[in-house]
Structure 1
């Protein structure tokens, strides 16, 4: 069977097809893709997150990723249980290699010594994923007539299928330390692709999606009256791929009174050996919006010209808890 050149190049450049899962640079703002145990790990009743990324425009057809996730603690479940839903779609390169995942999950929170300061949370996530390839967008050796490329010539390939569905299972756990308002630390571990589902378009049972593990820590820590530090680190491993991201953002709190919360933040993170990630964003009451850009510094930079891609995240919290600085209630006097 002949080698499909373009697909091979996609494996080398992107490392995101059947070799490696789709993931975002702003991993700390894509909770359900980071760890199923992050479901319900926030200070509100419900949460809605959306993430979008476009990258490798300079190398090939742009890679685009989109994720929508919602989670919360619902009236029909015990307060220790949270539930969430994740929908993710990724379209990669010239082959239009598409990944669509629909995953549902839940988590259970245990308060250590009954205190909100220390908590453990475990989570499971399961669902289905479809991977699909567009062969019509590819070129093959047999379509070269000796002078020029002729797309009307037969490819000479015998494709068994152009798509497949598979079941997947992810699991994880977190420890959260929250000593006081505007101070929190989370340490987590997650394992994805526990079932190692089959990936081959040629029905080769030996080609499977490798197990992916990650360990991470994130914090949101008050360092001055109006400033918070937001450091984050993650180590991730999948088959022969290892990724380490480390960095921090600094938040300036403009207003924090009852349900009114306004802030701006900026930071820089490094993906070792691959890229730098510059990020800016703001909080507006129940909204949080962030934008980042990957600056490629890997061996691909002659082709990428140091350009990675833009990434955006949006979050909305429903029934968000009020801040520490409450505005006291004052009743108007009654005049007779």
Structure 2
């Protein structure tokens, strides 16, 4: 059974569109999207949490969790910002991936726009429990079952893998009245580190990411929030695009600013259509929560019964500037 699980893991891993983790709500995971997104927010400190559970129809689904924070270090129009993020990814209960990165970003004002330059460096750790797997050589003909006590003939396999990893990116932003636009590009695995459990020098290829987003009002209380991302990792290409529709909320007991909902599609670009996702969320003064659900449309739809992934994103920001013109209610005498 464990060998079968390993085969399924390898097959799914091969069919996946990229080796790195990805989120449907990619715009809500800024430190995994682009190092230049570090510090791109209004406030003092931002804390982020993303949870993704994928392919629950298979015996052991994929789970990804990230938690990170970034902060403005200097107080100016162009503040230096630092961020940290920890990532844990568990693939089919077998392959465990842990990553820890530190990032820095600095915006440069160019007229009415800003160009953010970011760098990121960290450590990647991958492991799997070899003693919990069974291999063809361990099949006992006398019993008709696999015997984990038999030699698996896999002496050259490493169970742990460690390597440093470095990323860089740029982000162009423009904001005016009730319109915001951002366009970014990031390059991951700059040093192309060695990544293999087998003897050899298999190198992790560069990953290119281009992304964009906007938020503009079509009515005093209604806005459109489109987002797009294109990822290229060797021969694997992924395109995700979609839009949310947001509604501003009048004064309410929840102190909610707005709610939003929308959809997004994921495509393999000339390879296979992957999934369609539905998104919803709510924004408070300091807190934004988003949820999404992917419906699998790829070649794996039979095995997964179209059940893709459930995802939740949480962003909490402290030190948001107070409104300049705040109305203080008072009773008439």
Q: TM-score, normalised by structure 2?
A: 0.90
Which range is displaced more, 85-94 or 157-166?
157-166
**Equivalence map 1:138-177=2 (5 Å):** 138-146=133-141, 147-177=144-174
2:299 corresponds to = 299
1:10 aligns with 2:9: yes
Deviation readout 1:140-182 (Å, 9 max, x if unpaired): 10121232223332212114421021001000001101011x4
Deviation readout 1:206-234 (Å, 9 max, x if unpaired): x1211101111011211111111110011
Partners of 2:139 and 2:314 in 1: CA distance: 47
Q: Secondary structure at the match of 1:204?
A: coil
Q: Secondary structure at the match of 2:158?
A: coil
Rate the CA distance shift 1:59–1:330 in 2: closer, same or farther, 3 A. closer
Please, which of 168, 171, 196 is the counterpart of residue 192 of structure 2?
A: 196
Partners of 1:32 and 1:60 in 2: CA distance: 31
Q: Number of residue pairs matched?
A: 323
Is the 1:80–1:110 Cα contact (8 Å) retained in structure 2? no
Q: How large is the RMSD of aligned CA atoms in angstroms?
A: 2.6
1:271 aligns with 2:266: yes
Partners of 1:138 and 1:191 in 2: CA distance: 35
Deviation readout 1:285-309 (Å, 9 max, x if unpaired): 1100011111100001110010012
Is the 2:124–2:165 Cα contact (8 Å) retained in structure 1? yes
Partners of 2:128 and 2:15 in 1: CA distance: 14
Partners of 1:106 and 1:179 in 2: CA distance: 26
Rate the CA distance shift 1:86–1:323 in 2: closer, same or farther, 3 A. same
Partners of 2:320 and 2:256 in 1: CA distance: 11
Partners of 2:174 and 2:230 in 1: CA distance: 20
Partners of 1:78 and 1:177 in 2: CA distance: 14
Is the 1:252–1:263 Cα contact (8 Å) retained in structure 2? yes
1:284 corresponds to = 284
1:54 corresponds to = 53
Partners of 1:27 and 1:190 in 2: CA distance: 13
Residue 60 of structure 1: CA displacement?
A: 3.7
Partners of 2:114 and 2:125 in 1: CA distance: 35
Partners of 1:267 and 1:17 in 2: CA distance: 24
Rate the CA distance shift 1:37–1:26 in 2: closer, same or farther, 3 A. same
Residue 330 of structure 1: CA displacement?
A: 8.3
2:319 corresponds to = 319
Please, which of 96, 99, 104 is the counterpart of residue 98 of structure 1?
A: 96
Structure 2: gaps (5+ residues): 268-272
Which range is displaced more, 6-15 or 96-105?
6-15
Residue 329 of structure 1: CA displacement?
A: 5.6
Structure 1: gaps (5+ residues): none
Residue 56 of structure 1: CA displacement?
A: 1.6
Partners of 1:132 and 1:289 in 2: CA distance: 32
Is the 2:292–2:310 Cα contact (8 Å) retained in structure 1? yes
Rate the CA distance shift 1:298–1:323 in 2: closer, same or farther, 3 A. farther
Deviation readout 1:108-152 (Å, 9 max, x if unpaired): 101113xxx411101000011111111123221012123222333
Q: TM-score, normalised by structure 1?
A: 0.89
1:232 corresponds to = 227
Which range is displaced more, 67-76 or 194-203?
67-76
